[in-house]
Structures are given as C-alpha cells and as structure tokens.
Amino acid sequence: MDASSMSSDVVVVDDDPRVRALTLHILQRAGLTVSAHESPLTALDLVLAHPPRVLLTDFAMPHLDGVGLASAVRGGLGERSPRIMLLTGNPQSVRAKDKHLFDVILGKPWESHVLVETVLPWVRASMPPLVAHAG
C-alpha cells in the first residue's frame, strides 16, 4: 500500500476495470486524491485503517458486495464512517432494509458531472478550514 492510498479523499471499489478506471479518471480530473481497488476485501482493510472522506462502491462484486462492504465500514468506524455512495446498474435491487447504509445510490450509467457534483461537496465539507498563520 502506498502513501497516497493511505490519505485518499475518495476510495473507489469496483470489480469492473473499465468502470474503476473511468471513475478514478473523473475524480482525479476534479482535483481529488483517489485510491481505486478491484477487491472489496482489500478496500475494507484500507478504509478501516485510514478512513477516506468518501467511499464509492459497486453493488455486485465477488467475495463481498457493496452492501456488505458498507455494513462492515459503518460497523467498524461508527461515527467516523465516510460518506458512502453505491453505484449500481439496478438501484431497485437494493433491499429497503439496506438503503440506510448509503448516503446516495446512483444508477449506472451515470453522468460524470453528477458524480463530481455529489462527491466534491462531501470532500469539501469534511476538510478542515485553512488556518492563516501570523508570520
């Protein structure tokens, strides 16, 4: 794990390499520090050790789906949990009892501006204000 993944604004988890690369590119172009992962288990370890400001996760993934990932993050971090966005091709497939785990559920395909317009305020709201130092 490199230092940049330990201090990411956003962690992206998607087993589809095309979606993962596109999401990474869009968020980096918006000026965010992003860590992208194929494995939800790897991402879970990272998020619990170094909570990002935002977690974007796919719904259907092998070994641990987006609901399981969000549940583990919320259970492990409690009030320190990041904002969590679920990206899914079928938003109706998310059970009503699981929807509370997500701040936003965004259907695929999504527009890049919608992704950025949702994530940027979350990152900015969780950033400490700049403090001017008298010199």
* DSSP character string of 114-125: HHHHHHHHHHHH
Which option is the CATH number for 3-125: 3.10.20.30, 3.90.550.10, 3.40.50.2300, 3.40.80.10? 3.40.50.2300
Beta bridge partners of 106: 87
Crossing angle for the helix pair 66-77 and 40-49, to the nearest 10 degrees: 20
Nearest CA to 4 out of 21, 40, 28 is that of: 28
| pLDDT (tens digit per residue) in 82-106 | 999 999 988 888 999 999 999 999 9
Q: What is the pLDDT of residue 108?
A: 85
- φ/ψ of residue 104, rounded to 5: -145, 140
Nearest CA to 37 out of 28, 46, 29 is that of: 46
pTM: 0.88
Q: What is the pLDDT of residue 87?
A: 94
- Do the beta carbons of residue 123 and residue 54 sit within 8 Å? yes
b/e map 75-106, b = 16+ CB within 10 Å: eeeeeebbbbbbbbeeeeebeeebeebbbbbb
DSSP 13: E
Q: What is the pLDDT of residue 91?
A: 86
How much is the average pLDDT of 98-118?
A: 93
- Do the beta carbons of residue 48 and residue 77 sit within 8 Å? yes
- Do the beta carbons of residue 4 and residue 52 sit within 8 Å? no
At residue 6 the predicted structure's pLDDT band, cuts being 50, 70 and 90, is: low
In the chain, where the domains are located: 3-125
R_g of the chain, CA atoms, integer Å? 15
